[in-house]
Each structure stands twice: as structure tokens, then as C-alpha cells.
Structure 1
Amino acid sequence: MPPVPLAVTTSTKVDAAQLQEARAVAARWGLPFLPRRAKEGIAPWLGTKVEALLVVGGDGVTLWEPEGSFGFHAGMAHLRLMRLRAGEPDTFVRVAELGAGDSVLDCTLGLAQDALVASLAVGPSGRVVGLEKSLALCAVAGEGLRRYERGADACAVEVVHTDAREYLRTLPSASFDVVFFDPMFAKPKKAQPAFEVLRRFAEHAPLTAETLEEARRVARRWVVVKGARYTDDLRKLGLTPEPLSRFSDVAWGRVAAHAPAKSSS
């Protein structure tokens, strides 16, 4: 039989609570659960029994595949959150003009770095929804966010496993204040092995003008797009990059939402 695309198991140091949690993770994401004997390695499973595994342990949920592994961590978002709480500016927050009570639709959740920043910027009265097409990434981010101590000054990030292009079509016009895209860069810089694993699971389809227009319909204020600094990704979409620091390797663009049609009287 061909290997299962994705399954859930426990770490080697398993107890009753961890076993229960691993089964709950499998149930939340509709994945098979594979029991694991004490000290049984998963290397022989990868590529034969399963293509990839979500391993539930004391440190959270880690995605394993034959070439490596990665798990959820706040990363640079942690530093950005500290700066925001200290009253320092954040480029995403500035470009999107985020404020308390706003609603944000993150169409490319990934590991939720920007979604975490948005959740603090909009506060507990706001709303952040993150869309992720890759089930593996969605599960890692979703489980990581469940365990992350976001603080009482931030809202929870709602995680949805879906194709953003299809999801946008189902939404009424002017559903969110800001719609955000951070497409995977087409020309990656050298990165840590864990990020290379992430890239293999991520959605690589470029943002199209059609999807951007649909996002403008759904947005009330802005559609914000992040791109690589030394590419013309933003200009291809008709976006003018925002002024940025010479030390930044990313570029930001935005386009206004479509004005609602005026009703005739």
C-alpha cells in the first residue's frame, strides 16, 4: 500500500495525558493516529508507512518528513510583539493601518508570524482569521497557537484549512478591514534546514491579479501584500512598494479596497 500522506503519533516519552492529546490532535485535523511503542524510532516509517508525521510531545507538535523537521515557534514575531508592546512601530501594522477592533484575514498563514502581530495590533476586541492550504502547516500552526501564551491584550487567531482563493469567493463584500498575503518567495535565499522543510509543504502558487481583485472586494480598507525586496513581484501586481529600511529584505505593498457600489435612489 502507498504511504499515508500525513498521520499523528506521540514522542518516545509517552504517558497517558500525551497519548490522549495526540489522539485529540488527530481528531481535530481528521488524520489517522499511529500508536508508537516506547523508544520506537520513526525514521523507518517515513517514506514507507507515512510521507510525513505530526509528532505530539511535551514541546508541542513537530512535523517530521524524510529530510528533516520543524515545529511552531514565535520566532521573529516574539521580538515584534515585544516592540509593539513597548510602543515601537511595526511595518505591517503601519502599512495596514491596524488598530483596536479591526478584523484581519491572513490568506497565507504559514506559521502565523504576521497573524500573531495582527492579533496584538487589533487587540481582544478585534478578529484575525488565518487561512492555510497545506494541512501539515495548518495543523502545526493551529496546534502551536493553541499552546501559545498570547496575552490578554491580543485576540485569538482563528485557523482555517482552506484554499484562500476559494475561501475569498465565499465571503460577502467588505467582510474584513484588511486582507493580507505573504506568498512564498519564488527565489529563496539560503535558509536553515527547518525552513527548507517548511518550503516543501508550503503553497507555491503565485498571487494572481484575479485573487487580488477578489481580496479588494472582501476588504473594507486595504489589501496588503508582502514580497521579496529584490524581485518585481509587487510591481507585476500593479503595487508600488512602500518605503522601507535599507536593512530589510522584504517589501510591502498595498491597494485600497473596492469602494462599495452606490445604490440608486
Structure 2
Amino acid sequence: MIFVTTSHKPTKEQALKAKQLAQELNLPYIPRRSFRDLLEVVGNDYCYVVESDRIVVKYREGSLFFHPSTAKVRMRNVRKGLKDHLIECLQLKGNEWILDTTFGLGAEAILMAGFLKDGKVVGLEASTPIYIVVREGLKNYRDKEDWVNDAMRRIEILNIDYRKYFANCSDDSFDIVYCDPMFENPVYESSSMNPLRPFAVYDTVTDEDIEEMLRVARKRVVLKAHAFDSLFDRIRVDRITGSRKSQVLYGVIEKK
């Protein structure tokens, strides 16, 4: 059963927010006092829990919630002078508009936005549970590091599949299009990714998708894949860079 509820002893604001979310998603709202064991009611489905400062998706195996995750670690490394392969691929000047076609929990979008003084990241997320959690997180999460808060203000997220979005997207709408599909060879050691897996969209990127990305991009398309995935065997790119340790690769296609 999929439904919306709140944390224990919710405020009036929390209850109202939960009811509004239930109406938005066309799901039942169940007051938390109506049951003792949340997961027993959830069964093999999931529920949205409106807490005081965030929305969490609860399911039998765990919880999905928003956090800047690896963005902060990667930014600290860049500031120490270490290389970040994604940032090098993007070649940012600071005023770019970037389309992130596979937003997920947004760690890489936050990292990218951290280098945009006057630019913006538009993120597309086809999974509704992921979208709801992240939309709320971008709106209400506050970090101790100011650059994270500034970066989140430069991000807009939409609940739509990138193929549908492209259908109404004009040529050269963005400077860069970024695509990070779910790996064919998952890295289960990635604790930040594991809660997302049950809700993620696992579509394969096709040649037709790349054509659309290039149509929409003014400068370049950047793709991400695991070293053992088939993406860069199927899709021709101008250059590939990445980490031997993590086996995460980025491929760049320059707009001709």
C-alpha cells in the first residue's frame, strides 16, 4: 500500500503538508496515530513520511532521503587541488545552463552548480518518489557549508522523463547536457546510491537519445558510465576520462 503520513506527534503544519502531498499524488493520507507499525502497513510498497524538515520515503529495506552526499567531499577535493573528472569534462566558465537528464539525489548537480556563478542546472527526474524527496530537500535543506546552499538555489528539478522533455525542447536550449544513467554494473558499496535503487528508472541510453541531447546542447554532451558497462561500446564519444580506482568513466561529445 502506497500512502502519505507524518512522523509521530506531528505539528499542524506537518499534517497539512502531508494532506496536500497526498492530494498532489492522488494517494491516501493516513494519520500516523492510526497504526503502530509503519512498515507492517507498507508491506511490499512504500510510503511518504512528512517530517519536521524533510520528506522521507520509507520501505521495508530502508529509507530514501535527501542529502548533498558526495558533492561536499568532491568539492573539498577540488579545493585541495585534486582532479574531478566530471568538472574537467564540463569545462565550465560559470554562466552555463546545464540540463541534468538523470537527476537522482542530485549530488553531481549540486557539485556542478557550485561552479556556476551566473548559470543554472535544470534537473529531470522520472521517478516520482525520488523527485518528491529531492524537491523538498532542495527547498528546505540547510547545510553548514554556504556554497552548498548557494548551489541548491541554482537548481530547478522537474518530474519528467528526459525523452518527454526533449519533445518540447528547442534546439540549443542548454550549454551542456549531462546524462548519468543507472550503471549496468552497480557499485553496491556506494551507500548513497543504495536507497535510491528500488525507485530509480533503468532506461538504456540509445543513439536516438544522444541525437536529441546534441540537438538540445549548444556546447557538449557529457555521459557517465561504469568501466564494465556497454555505454561507451555502443555510443561514440570524442574522449573518455575517469578514475581507475572507482572505474567510473565520463565520455564527452563535443557539438560540431
Q: Letter of the aligned partner of 1:109 in structure 2?
A: F
Deviations 1:23-65 (A, max 9, x none): 34445655543222187331221137xx211112135221112
CA contact (8 A) 2:54 2:137 kept: yes
Aligned Cα RMSD in Å? 2.5
Of 219-228 and 73-82, more deviation after overlay is shown by: 73-82
Is 1:19–2:12 an aligned residue pair?
Answer: no
* 8 Å Cα contact 2:5/2:29 also seen in 1: yes
Query: Does the Cα contact within 8 Å between 2:241 and 2:251 map onto a contact in 1?
Result: no
Q: Is the 8 A contact 2:240 2:251 kept in 1?
A: yes
Structure 1 partner of 2:241 = 243
Q: Report how far residue 119 of structure 1 moved.
A: 1.3
Gaps of 5+ in 1: 260-265
Out of 73, 80, 87, the position equivalent to 1:79 is 73
Q: Which residue of 1 aligns with 2:138?
A: 145
Letter in 2 for 1:133: A
- Equivalent residue in structure 2 for 1:121, among 115, 125, 136: 115
> Counterparts of 1:33-52 in structure 2 under 5 Å?
33-37=29-33, 40-47=36-43, 51-52=45-46
Give the aligned residue type for 1:254: V
**Distance in structure 2 (CA, Å) of the matches to 1:181 and 1:73:** 20
For residues 240 and 7 of structure 1, the distance between their equivalents in structure 2, rounded to whole angstroms, comes to 46
The CA distance in 1 between the partners of 2:67 and 2:194, in whole Å, is 16
Give 3-state SS (helix, strand or coil) of 1:114's partner. Answer: helix
1:61 aligns with 2:55: yes
Match of residue 169 from structure 1: 167
Matched, 1:8 2:4: yes
Gaps of 5+ in 2: 143-147
Check whether the contact 1:181–1:226 (CA below 8 A) recurs between aligned residues.
yes
Map of 1:262 onto structure 2: none
Residues in 1 aligned to 2:62 and 2:234: alpha-carbon distance in whole angstroms = 34
Deviations for 1:138-189, whole angstroms, at most 9, x for unmatched residues? 1111111112333346643111001111111210000000001000011213
d(CA) in 2 for partners of 1:193, 1:88: 23
**Percent sequence identity over aligned pairs:** 31
Q: Does the Cα contact within 8 Å between 1:181 and 1:224 map onto a contact in 2?
A: yes
Q: Which residue matches 1:188?
A: 186
- Structure with bigger helix share is 2
- Count residues with an aligned counterpart: 251
DSSP 3-state at the match of 2:38: coil
TM-score by length of 1: 0.84
Compute the TM-score of the two structures, normalised by the length of structure 2.
0.87
Structure 2 partner of 1:97: 91
What is the aligned partner in structure 2 of residue 156 from structure 1?
A: 154
Q: Which residue of 2 aligns with 1:253?
A: 251
* Residue type at the aligned position of 1:52: Y
SS at match of 1:151: helix
